[in-house]
Structure 1
Amino acid sequence: MNFGIFNEIPMHDGITSERAFSGAFEVFHAAEELGIDTIWLGENHFTNEWSLCSSPLSIAAALAASTRRIRIGTAVSVLPIANPLQLLEQAGTVDQLSAGRLEFGVGRSGVALPYRTHRQPYTESRGRFLETLEIISRAWTEERFTFHGDYYHYDDVLVMPAPYQSPHPPIYIAASSPESFDLAGRLGHAVLMEARGRQAQVRDNLATYRKARADAGHVDPEKIFLRLAVYVAETEQKAISDPEYSTMIYYKRDSALIADPLEGLDNKALEARAERSKVLAEMTYQQVLANDVVYGTPTMVFEKIEQIRDDLGISGLVMDVNCGGRMSSEQTIGSMRLFCDHVIPRFR
């Protein structure tokens, strides 16, 4: 299995931007030294309340220069609000600077604020996503390309630099609906997903993904990566108590983000978001521990991850090692060290 960590440059009242970045890079460099496989970077815009990662490929370029081994991924680049050509240039640059260590995760995001700020109806997001995904594929497999869609028009474009990896960095699609799993399978791309108490639905979606891959004739090994909050401590009590405040901050924040309506959604979709927001807001920590996260001693964490791997057939984890962003760098790195010393070796 591949073991990566997720980070979105956590930010909150009481710390400066400088401290947010320096704390994140302490974690990044520890991940390189400890043997973590991949650093996955989130993307968030127009807020200073919980994240400063508005330009993940800029962070990735800094990581390319300051690390030598660890792979660097986006989780995810939000395609509908991006300039496709600029995104391609940045991604190609990172792949060159890192000597081929980029993992390119893409998605649409369900956060309303960036779409509202860009004055872009969310109803356009799927079309823009699909067109940008095709532009990426064309630019990375053809020397020059021409594209005319509903949203983007390009003639005889040469995108430079080309990626270091041939033919291009691995592409991961953030998938949550049957349609997105089917798309990833048909195109032969990897999947980034969450479960969060919806394992039965995830199993059905993975069956859709695998069928689409097979029907399209893809025979290379599938890549299914699960984002999961993970915290390891020497005792169960400490593993549960250390991340409690931070984790519940995450659920309240997620509830508020989902409650913010996306422009253009029909009433049924808006009602579903409102219901999901209510569920998240009312979740207790005991419910979170039972259904959504993996917190415990090294042995407990190994057994839980092993069960998830065997149940879903995942090939990698994107571990949120500071869920909610309120734990210290020392706590986060301490948990990572226990995970790398006592959990990873049991999978290899």
Structure 2
Amino acid sequence: MIREIPRMWEQKDYSFEGNGWSVPGPHNILPKPYGVGHPPIWVACGNPETFAKAGSLGIGAIAFNFEPIHNLKGRLEAYKEAAESPVEIIGQFQNNNVMMTNGVICLEDRDRAREIAKAQGRGYLVTMVNLYHDTMPKSPDGITWPNAPASTLIEWTDEMLDQIIEAGYMLCGNPEEVSEQLEAYQSVGCDQVVFGLPIEGMQHEEIKEMLEIFGDQVIPEFDKDPVHSTTRMRETAKPKYPAFTSELPEEVNEVTIIPDSAILPLSA
């Protein structure tokens, strides 16, 4: 299936016949990607074999860290090793990228950030992730929905929170602390880190504050290039398929008048 996506993006008379699904053609699959190339292609990864497979196909790897961040180093190395000599590039360009997903609470007031992290009732999102991402390695004591998260059963201490932060399960503190915590991701070979918002227990104004200070004080510490890495990759894109798989009828090539219906204003 994944090999068909770039063909859908490029061709205007797409068709496919397979065992599990088919697109009787010809069909012009819309919308087409805007600009140079196409959006980067990613695959969700958990097992070492999937990381290596993604690297060998020239596509990006997205993952959650259900275990201490340094435990992921071997998987990320497997991806990077395969990405050095991919056996196939699925899309128009290689998306040599490992992206990790995590949670962050970054405020100027570190005490308030830690207070939110220790609040009772947080963690339901993680129990849902443990339920649905059942092919990914996770902690033996990981709690799965509908069981209540640990924050409803115990009272979090500063020592417990420090252990969670040190292991890389979440980022928490002021901008300087969060920047230091992000270095652990960089050290194991992670290219990008993304965060889910809003964090349970945060007020609207606190979320706005976090977005601003993370963008102003944390991101510049790691991303020195004003051009996004994906933009640079897309600039190298090379089409792989002809726009039409079949030769167009001769009369189509002779059309010189644009139908009125093709230039009607959107309000019509």
The TM-score normalised by the length of structure 2 is 0.64
Q: Which amino acid aligns with 1:168?
A: H
Q: 2:126 is matched with which residue: 254, 270, 274?
A: 254
State the partner residue of 1:304: 181
Q: Does residue 215 of the first structure (1) align with residue 85 of the second (2)?
A: yes
State the partner residue of 2:104: 230
Distance in 2 of aligned mates of 1:316 and 1:334: 22
Paired residues for 1:11-22 under 5 Å: none
Q: Is the 8 A contact 1:254 1:280 kept in 2?
A: no
Q: Does residue 135 of the first structure (1) align with residue 4 of the second (2)?
A: yes
> 1:148/1:204 Cα in 2 relative to 1: closer, same or farther (>3 Å)?
farther
Q: How far has the Cα of 1:180 moved from its partner?
A: 2.4
Distance in 2 of aligned mates of 1:177 and 1:233: 34
Q: Is the 8 A contact 1:259 1:273 kept in 2?
A: no
Q: Which of 1 and 2 has greater Rg?
A: 2
Q: Does residue 198 of the first structure (1) align with residue 74 of the second (2)?
A: no
Identity of aligned residues (%): 20
Q: Is the 8 A contact 1:231 1:321 kept in 2?
A: no
**5+ long unaligned stretches in structure 1:** 1-130, 263-268
State the partner residue of 1:159: 29
Structure with the bigger percentage of strand: 1
Q: Is the 8 A contact 1:147 1:155 kept in 2?
A: yes
State the partner residue of 1:276: 142
State the partner residue of 2:234: none
Q: Equivalent residue of 1:343, what SS?
A: helix
Structure with the bigger percentage of helix: 1
Distance in 2 of aligned mates of 1:196 and 1:298: 24
> 1:145/1:167 Cα in 2 relative to 1: closer, same or farther (>3 Å)?
same
Q: Which amino acid aligns with 1:338?
A: I
Q: Which amino acid aligns with 2:111?
A: Q
Q: Equivalent residue of 2:108, what SS?
A: coil
State the partner residue of 2:263: none
Distance in 1 of aligned mates of 2:66 and 2:43: 18
Q: Which runs of 4+ in 1 moved over 4 A?
A: 217-221, 259-262, 272-275, 278-285
> 1:198/1:330 Cα in 2 relative to 1: closer, same or farther (>3 Å)?
same
Distance in 2 of aligned mates of 1:223 and 1:343: 20
Distance in 1 of aligned mates of 2:127 and 2:210: 27
Q: Kindly indicate whether structure 1 or structure 2 has the higher relative contact order, using CA contacts under 8 Å at least 6 residues apart.
A: 2
Q: Which amino acid aligns with 2:188?
A: L
State the partner residue of 1:14: none
Q: How far has the Cα of 1:275 moved from its partner?
A: 5.5
Deviations 1:141-180 (A, max 9, x none): 3333332223211232321231113331112222112232
Provide the alpha-carbon RMSD of the alignment. Answer: 3.4
State the partner residue of 1:344: 219
**5+ long unaligned stretches in structure 2:** 225-268
Q: Equivalent residue of 2:34, what SS?
A: coil
Q: Is the 8 A contact 2:106 2:172 kept in 1?
A: yes
Q: Which amino acid aligns with 1:249?
A: R
Distance in 2 of aligned mates of 1:296 and 1:208: 32
Q: Is the 8 A contact 1:144 1:158 kept in 2?
A: yes
> 1:257/1:197 Cα in 2 relative to 1: closer, same or farther (>3 Å)?
closer
Q: Equivalent residue of 2:24, what SS?
A: strand
Q: Equivalent residue of 2:178, what SS?
A: helix
Q: 1:239 is matched with which residue: 113, 116, 121?
A: 113
State the partner residue of 1:63: none
Distance in 1 of aligned mates of 2:74 and 2:60: 17
> 1:323/1:261 Cα in 2 relative to 1: closer, same or farther (>3 Å)?
closer
Q: Is the 8 A contact 1:259 1:274 kept in 2?
A: no
Q: 1:289 is matched with which residue: 165, 187, 197?
A: 165
